[in-house]
Amino acid sequence: MLFAGLIAVGVSFVAPFVWQVLMSMSTITDVDLLSKTWFPLDVRPENYARVFDQVGYGTYFFNSLFVAGWVTLLQIITCSMAAYAFSRLRWPGRDQLFLLYLGTLMIPGVVLMAPNFAIILQLGMFNTYAGLIIPSAFSAYGTFLLRQFMLTIPPSLDEAASIDGAGHWRIFTQVILPLARPGIIVMSIFTFLFNYNSFFWPLILVKDDNLRTLPIGLLQFEASHGRDTPLIMAGSLMAMAPPILLFLLLQKHLVKGVQLGAVKG
C-alpha cells in the first residue's frame, strides 16, 4: 500500500513534465487534443530549432550561462577567502563583523536594488555584462556556508602546516580549500542556479536585446508568441536543461556536502 502511494506521488510529480514535453512537440491545433489523446497527432521536434531561429534564443542562453558562470567563479574566490578569514584566523572584531554579515541576510534583495542600481549608473556599468556580474560577485550566504564547512576541519592541520613553514596563503590553497571542496560544490550549485534564474536585476539593468538573459528572453518570447503554446513549452524546456543536467552530474557531491555541513565538529 505504501509502495503504491509512493508511485502515485511520483507520477503526480512527473506528469506535468511529460505533458510539457509532449506539448512542446505538437502543433497549435493539437494542443487542445492532448487532454484526450495524451500524444500529439503531428509530432514536430523541429519546434526546438524554430525557437532558436525566431527569437535569438541562443543569445539569451549564452548570456545566462556566461553571467551565472562568472558570478559562480567570483563567489567561489571571494566567499572562500572571507570564510577562511572568519573561521581560521584570529583578529579583533572577527565575530562581531561576522554577525554583521549575517544581518545582511535579513534584508530583502528588492530593498537593495535601488541603491545598487544607483551605484551601477555612477560606475558606468548600466546595460553591460559587468553590471550583471559584479554586484553578485560576493555573497554573505556563501561566506556563511563555507565558514561552517571550514569549521569542521581540524585546527591541527593548520598547525602542522604552519610548523612546516607554510604561510596563510599556502594553508588556504593547499590545505583548507581541498578539504572544503564539498562545501564549495554545494555553494557553486546554489549560486549558479540562483543567478541562472535571476529575473528582476537583469530586467531593470539591461536594455539591449543582445544582453538579455534567458528569463527576460522568455518573457519577451511569450509576449510575441503568446498563442504559440508549443514554442513556449519548447523554450521553457530548453531553459530547464542546464539546471537539470547540473543536478544530475553533481547530485552525489550535493548530498555529501549537505550532510557534512549539517554537523559542526
195 and 81 in one domain?
yes
Cell of 235: 523554450
121 and 209 in one domain?
yes
Q: What is the pLDDT of residues 73-93, one digit of tens each?
A: 999 999 999 999 999 888 898
Cβ(237)–Cβ(21) below 8 Å: yes
Q: How confident is the model at residue 226, as a pLDDT?
A: 62
Q: How confident is the model at residue 238, as a pLDDT?
A: 86
Q: How confident is the model at residue 51, as a pLDDT?
A: 80
85 and 2 in one domain?
no
Question: Low-confidence residues of the chain, pLDDT below 70?
Answer: 31-41, 54-55, 225-226, 253-265
Cell of 72: 559562480
Domain that holds residue 180: 51-262
Quote the number of domains for the chain.
2
83 and 16 in one domain?
no
Interatomic CA distance for residues 129 and 137, integer angstroms: 12
4 and 97 in one domain?
no
> Which residues are CB-contacts of 130 (< 8 A; sequence separation ≥ 6)?
none
Which CATH number do you get for residue 103? Answer: 1.10.3720.10
Residue 16 phi/psi, 5-degree rounding, is -60, -35
Interatomic CA distance for residues 241 and 225, integer angstroms: 21
Distance of CA 193 to the CA centre of its chain: 2
Q: How confident is the model at residue 125, as a pLDDT?
A: 92
Q: Which amino acid is at 78?
A: T
Cell of 12: 503526480
110 and 16 in one domain?
no
64 and 41 in one domain?
no
67 and 25 in one domain?
no
Provide the 10 A C-beta neighbour count for residue 58: 13
Q: How confident is the model at residue 55, as a pLDDT?
A: 65
Q: Radius of gyration of the chain from Cα atoms?
A: 23
Q: What is the mean pLDDT of the chain?
A: 84
Q: How confident is the model at residue 265, as a pLDDT?
A: 43
91 and 135 in one domain?
yes
